[in-house]
Structure 1
Amino acid sequence: MDEVFSIFLEEFGAPIDRQEVPASSIDRYRGKLPNQLLAYWAEHGWCGYGDGIFWIVNPQEYESVVASWIEGTELEKYDTYHLIARGAFGDMYLWGEKTGYSLKITSFLSRCVIDDFKPTPEQMDRNLQDFLLIADVEANDFGDLFKPARKKLGILRHDEMYGFVPAIMLGGPDTLDHLEKVKAVEHLIFLSQLAELEPYNFSDIQF
């Protein structure tokens, strides 16, 4: 295990609900995602961390999610994106084939942060490691609700997230009483249909 992933594990803790990554998935994304990420997949699998507050995921399972958020927007013209990680409440971390880690979508608010930095091919592995080094538990814990949600609703599986019902964008309260354990793919697609994706105001940015 390299130093970067060791630091990541110090922040988030031991993995849960590990899925082994087949060689076919690594071959599928070679040249599209950084070699360093594919190496982490091979060694560590697709897993949840921090008791499920943060997940490194199979991008293929989320292709329909990415399409539902990106298609018809300017982002579609900008790059080809793959969802490589997500948070327990629906923060989505997307990797651009040309721009690296350049897009974060906060699905339950329909807001995004876009980075226009374009790493060279030689910088992609470093960009991926930088992404893991800046990831932290607090940024994925909406309103300090993760621990209460886990206690009330149970630990998430790899295909689950905590979702507000009714959704915040439909006027629902962002409280524990209105959180449910939901299927991640289906809920993220549902959220994409509620409001147009917009960038955060500069003063709100938390990348």
Structure 2
Amino acid sequence: MGFMETSENYANADDELIDEYRGVFMDPKDETDVITEIWKKYGFCLYKNGLFSLLNPKEYNRLARNFPEVSEKAEVFARTATGCLFLWEEYSFGRNIAFLNIHTGEKSIISTSFNVLIEWNLTASNYWTEDCYGKVEFAVMDRFKHIPNNQCGGYSLALPLGGKERLDHMELFNYKTHLELLSQLHH
């Protein structure tokens, strides 16, 4: 959990939530429950000025499950600077970490292990670029420098409404409001 030591806490995770989710965000191959350990030690936090932020699933599961590509049992655990979601989801071949691009509505499987995701993948810029909308995420971070937990970068005219996927069309929005809007537009 080395990279989390440079993170910025924005809310604490209470013991009840930690107990409820203990073991939920774990693949059988994982030796530790990385997510609840981070919650316990660091709370909900932003990494790299908001490039990656841990979320309380109770606050975001309903919104995430409104997207057509997301199952009713998916659990949200994090988001990016542009509000894209990291999900723990059941598939016919097992549980996997998926990445939902809230702007395009596309979802892809990106990992099977929270240990690998947290310790290796999130610290590698090529992982972001190849699997997590990284070119846009990095450009948004360069432009806005810091994305607070209650905001996200988004297109001034949402892509489902005909907006263009260009950095000069990006603004900061209230995160929950923007997520709700995009989930409705992708139906």
- What band does the TM-score fall into relative to the shorter chain? 0.7 to 0.9
Q: Which residue is equivalent to 1:75?
A: 71
TM-score (norm 1): 0.71
Cα deviations by residue, 1:136-165 (Å, 9 ceiling, x for unpaired): 4642544342234315xxx22212111111
Q: Which residue is equivalent to 2:80?
A: 87
Q: 2:144 aligns with which of 146, 150, 153?
A: 150
| TM alignment of 1:38-49, pairs within 5 A | 38-49=36-47
Alignment partners' CA distance in 1, 2:186 and 2:77: 23
1:27 partner letter: D
Alignment partners' CA distance in 2, 1:18 and 1:57: 10
Cα deviations by residue, 1:63-94 (Å, 9 ceiling, x for unpaired): 22122115xx6834xxx211111111122110
Q: Which 5+ residue runs of structure 2 have no aligned equivalent? A: 27-32
- Structure 1 stretch displaced more, 181-190 or 104-113: 181-190
2:19 partner letter: D
| Number of residue equivalences | 171
- Secondary structure at 1:107's aligned position in 2? coil
CA RMSD of superposed structures (Å): 2.6
The alpha-carbon deviation at position 17 of structure 1 amounts to 4.1
The percentage of counterpart residues that share the same residue type is 23
Q: Which residue is equivalent to 1:22?
A: 14
2:117 partner letter: F
Q: Which residue is equivalent to 2:106?
A: 111
Kindly name which structure, 1 or 2, has the bigger radius of gyration based on alpha carbons. 1
The alpha-carbon deviation at position 51 of structure 1 amounts to 1.1
- Secondary structure at 2:180's aligned position in 1? helix
- Secondary structure at 1:102's aligned position in 2? strand
- Structure richer in helix, relative to its length: 1
- Secondary structure at 2:79's aligned position in 1? strand
Change (3 A) 1:97 1:39: farther
The alpha-carbon deviation at position 39 of structure 1 amounts to 1.4
Change (3 A) 1:136 1:170: farther
Instruction: State whether residues 25 and 114 of structure 2, in contact with CA within 8 Å, keep that contact through their aligned partners in structure 1.
Output: no
Change (3 A) 1:135 1:101: farther
Instruction: State whether residues 74 and 87 of structure 2, in contact with CA within 8 Å, keep that contact through their aligned partners in structure 1.
Output: yes
Q: Which residue is equivalent to 1:205?
A: none
Alignment partners' CA distance in 2, 1:68 and 1:191: 9
